[in-house]
Amino acid sequence: MKYLILDGPPYPTDRTTFVYRGTDRKWPPYCKEVPHDHEINELWSWSAEEKVRFAAVRDLAKALRYVQLANEYFPGMNFEVIGITEDNEPAPEGAQFLGYDIGGGASLIFLTALPLVPGDSESDDAAVVLDDLISRRFQPRLNQFGLFPTYDDAANCRRAMIAVQSFRPNFYEGGSLEHFKQQFEVTGVYLISDTK
C-alpha cells in the first residue's frame, strides 16, 4: 500500500467551485521555524526520499505522525493521509473510500479541471470538441470529492482522454503517449484515519 500526505491543490487556483480530494494536492513543506534535526523536518526528509523512489510513502505509522505534526506546525492547513490502491489491490481496512482518480500523483481529473461544469465552446478544433464531450459525459459522474465513484467510469474517462492525446500530443499532458498511459493509471483513493 502506498500513502500520500496531502492538503489543498498543488498550486494556487482561481477555481472557487473546484471540489477535489484526489492525489494531485500539496505535500507538507519544510518547516523553517524549527531546527533541521527536529522531528517534523526529519519526517519531511524521509517523505522526500520516499517520493523520489516510490512516488509515495510506505510507512503508515510515520505518515500518520507526519500529518499530526504538519497540522500542528502549519495552522490553517488540514493535511491527511491518503491511501492509494492500484489494479485489484484490496482497500485498506477501516479506511473511508473517497473515489477513483486517474493518476497516482499528478491527476488527469485535476489537470483538466474536470469537476468544473463544461463551457459553451464553439471551437472547430477536433480535440477541443472531443474534450468538451468528455467533460459533458464524465463531469456529472464525479462524486462530492471530485472523484469517480466507480472504477469503470474512471477507466472509460481515461481511455477517452488517451484517445484524444493520441492524435493531439501534449493536449492534456506533455510527453509521449506511452509515458501518458503509464503515468495516469486508475487508482482508488482512501482517507486513512489514525485509529489509536
How far, in Å, CA of 141 to CA of 144, rounded? Answer: 10
| The pLDDT of residue 29 | 94
| The pLDDT of residue 173 | 80
| The pLDDT of residue 179 | 67
pTM of the model: 0.88
- State the 10-residue block means of pLDDT for the chain, 196 residues long: 83 62 92 96 96 90 96 92 85 90 87 72 84 92 94 94 88 70 85 73
**Centroid of chain to Cα 173:** 15
State the total domains in the chain: 1
Q: Which helix (H) or strand (E) holds 63?
A: helix 60-73
| The pLDDT of residue 184 | 85
Answer whether 27's CB lies under 8 Å from 80's CB: no
In terms of residue numbers, what domain contains 188? 2-192
Q: Which helix (H) or strand (E) holds 130?
A: helix 126-138
| The pLDDT of residue 196 | 46
Give the 3-state secondary structure of residue 136.
helix
How far, in Å, CA of 144 to CA of 138, rounded? Answer: 14
